[in-house]
Amino acid sequence: MGTNEAGGREAGGRDLAVMIVDDDAAVRDALGLLLGVRGYRTAVFASGEAFLQAWRPDWNGCLLVDIRMAGMDGLALQGELAARGCRIPVVVMSGHGDVGTARAAFRADAVDFLEKPFDDDKLIAAIDEGLARARQVGGEQRRRGAGADRLACLTPREREVLQLVVSGCHNRQIGPALGISVRTVEVHKARLMSKLGVDNVADLVRLSMLEAGDAP
């Protein structure tokens, strides 16, 4: 993933990293040292452009980014990552904090906005919150992937029945819609629920929403 023990493991044994993006080498070194001695896995980048050039969709962790950098600034980096569908939590740093930039960072869903020089405990708390969000996002992606794998095993007819069931249709409505008997609907419904490992319509709806990315 970048530099500075990028292939290691984050504190607590979880496969996450704190990705530091700052154009000040002294700041990068200080943050890398601070987090490294506390057991965090880290990677450092000298610019937003360098991070984007190296970034891969499978990266997970927390991004610690300076708001003002030569070239692409922190807000622009947040915007570009969002446009790429990247959900890595972001902690924003600034040596020249003001209300306007703080609001802009939070509107872009920043975890926190920290002014330099910052308190180490506040920094660690913000990073830990970012990593907690990253674990939640990773869990959602794994559940969505598992749900998609299960849905892929359905026959075309079972998918049709599923779509009508989760849209609120009853068996007696599904039969005529598909040109099959109610009894055949019941058979397809029982088979698809068995394949998906669910035993009620509520779980069926939840699984369908998860595949579509609409689950809470």
Together in a domain, 161 and 140: no
pLDDT of residue 201: 78
pLDDT of residue 177: 92
Together in a domain, 111 and 68: yes
- What's the CATH code of the domain at 164? 1.10.10.10
| 6 part of a folded domain | no
Together in a domain, 15 and 68: yes
Together in a domain, 139 and 162: no
CB within 8 A of 60, min separation 6: which ones? 15, 16, 17, 88, 134, 137, 138
What is the number of helices (H) and of strands (E) in the chain?
A: 9, 5
Together in a domain, 48 and 114: yes
Together in a domain, 135 and 160: no
Q: What are the structure tokens assigned to 3, written together?
A: 């530099």
| 80 part of a folded domain | yes
| 5 part of a folded domain | no
Residue 200: domain span: 153-212
pLDDT of residue 68: 85
The three-state secondary structure class of 166 is helix
CA atoms of 110 and 75, how far apart (whole Å): 10
Together in a domain, 175 and 134: no
CB atoms near residue 15 (< 10 Å): 12
Does this model's pTM top 0.75? My answer is: no
Which residue in this structure is represented by tokens 């070239």? 71
pLDDT of residue 13: 34
pLDDT of residue 150: 67
CA atoms of 210 and 190, how far apart (whole Å): 20
Do the Cβ atoms of 47 and 65 come closer than 8 Å?
no
The three-state secondary structure class of 74 is helix
CA atoms of 122 and 61, how far apart (whole Å): 18
pLDDT of residue 97: 61
pLDDT of residue 12: 34
State the greatest distance between any 2 C-alpha atoms of the chain, in Å, as a whole number.
Answer: 73
- The single-letter DSSP state of residue 95 is S
Together in a domain, 158 and 133: no
- What's the number of domains the chain is made of? 2
Together in a domain, 133 and 43: yes
The three-state secondary structure class of 182 is helix
Together in a domain, 157 and 109: no
Please give the chain's pLDDT, 216 residues, in tens.
544 433 333 333 346 889 999 999 999 999 999 999 999 999 999 999 999 999 888 788 999 999 888 888 888 898 888 888 887 888 888 876 656 666 766 676 678 888 888 788 889 999 999 898 888 765 555 555 444 556 778 888 988 998 898 888 889 999 999 999 999 999 998 988 888 887 777 777 777 766 655 444
pLDDT of residue 148: 54
